[in-house]
Amino acid sequence: MNQIPTFADHWRELQLQLLKEAGIEVGSIMYEKKIGTHHTKLYDVLEVGQTVRLFPCCTYGDDGKEVCVDAHVLLSEWARTKLEQGGGPYKILSEVAFPCVENAQFHTECRISETHQAIAHIHRGHPCPPFHWYRRPDEVHTSGYVAKGQLVLAPMGPVSNITTKQVSNSISLNNPSAKGSGLSLFMVQLAKPRISKAGVSQVEGQKREDFALVPFWWVWSSTTHVKEEANMSLTWKVYKGIHVPVLENPEALKPKTKLIRYLPKKDEQPLANVAKITTVKATPEGPPVAKRARGPARAI
């Protein structure tokens, strides 16, 4: 004999239907409306029925306590979030708790920052006397007498000009005679002011911060292959363990002296695949001619 459904049965079915229509199911994330959606007040739905079982999403340990809420109370006083089950917070494992310490990018950025601070310290610590600046050719001249060792020119520039890759207009910041950190850094040269019809000045379209009159870069590009003509030499300063290349004057300088550094000539390497030329004696038929001797084979 079939059992006649009771009011309690109808009530239970109604609550389950309402829960389903509200999208509340096992795995849903719920919160009490009067408390809010702080992550410590979110609950996972463990079981759906006339009484709904919930457990805190975030316990920060093992102190979470399961709660049971009547379905009709849950529908009226609780709300469902759009978070997925297991949405966090997550506890980071101890072996990766401090990734920045061993992170290569973090180490590189710290080293770049320390290097820039060292360059700026040396630059500010050795103020330069006034100079005369010229373009085409690009030269910097002393305006007065300069004592021996008075000029200490550092490769000053914005920190964004320090890079780990060498480019054509950069210099190395690594002292070859010092024990380094294994990280190669380079400083990109600063741009020079453009030349307008009125002369050398800031021109339309060029911002003032796009260039700077830093004497190091002007002297660095002003070179001679004759040692006796040079009046600036490359040395290294150390600040907090960071080696910084600087240009110094080893001798006193007179007023209106062009600052120039010595740059050795590169050894000329003979081309391996150039054919040798030999000259043969004149013949009755004509003047001496050049005879090409076969050289090493070349790939085509």
Q: Please report whether residue 75 resides in a domain.
A: yes
pTM: 0.56
Helix (H, G, I), strand (E, B) or coil at 174: coil
Report d(CA 262, CA 220) in Å as an integer.
Answer: 9
Report d(CA 66, CA 118) in Å as an integer.
Answer: 58
What tokens appear for 199 in the block? 């002369």
User: Residue 173 carries which side chain, given as an amino acid letter?
Assistant: L
One domain for residues 218 and 138? yes
Q: Please report whether residue 169 resides in a domain.
A: yes
Domain count, the chain: 2
pLDDT the model gives residue 90: 58
One domain for residues 12 and 127? no
Q: Please report whether residue 255 resides in a domain.
A: yes
pLDDT the model gives residue 285: 57
One domain for residues 70 and 173? no
Q: Decide: 278 and 249 in contact? Cβ < 8 Å.
A: no
Question: What tens-digit pLDDT sequence spans the chain (300 residues)?
Answer: 567 777 677 778 888 888 888 888 888 888 888 888 777 788 888 888 888 998 888 766 556 788 899 888 888 899 888 766 555 555 555 555 555 555 678 888 889 999 999 999 999 999 888 999 888 888 999 999 999 999 999 999 999 999 999 988 899 998 888 776 678 899 998 888 777 666 555 544 555 545 578 899 999 989 999 999 999 999 999 999 899 999 999 999 999 999 999 998 876 555 444 444 444 455 555 555 545 445 444 433
One domain for residues 107 and 241? yes
pLDDT the model gives residue 154: 93
Q: Which one of 48, 80, 112 terminates a domain?
A: 80
Q: Which residue in 87, 245, 288, 91 sits closest to 154, CA to CA?
A: 245
CA torsion 54-59-65-68 (nearest 10°) is -20
Q: Decide: 146 and 247 in contact? Cβ < 8 Å.
A: no
One domain for residues 109 and 244? yes
Q: Please report whether residue 157 resides in a domain.
A: yes
One domain for residues 214 and 162? yes
One domain for residues 76 and 109? no
One domain for residues 120 and 226? yes
Q: Which domain holds residue 157?
A: 102-198+208-262
One domain for residues 173 and 113? yes
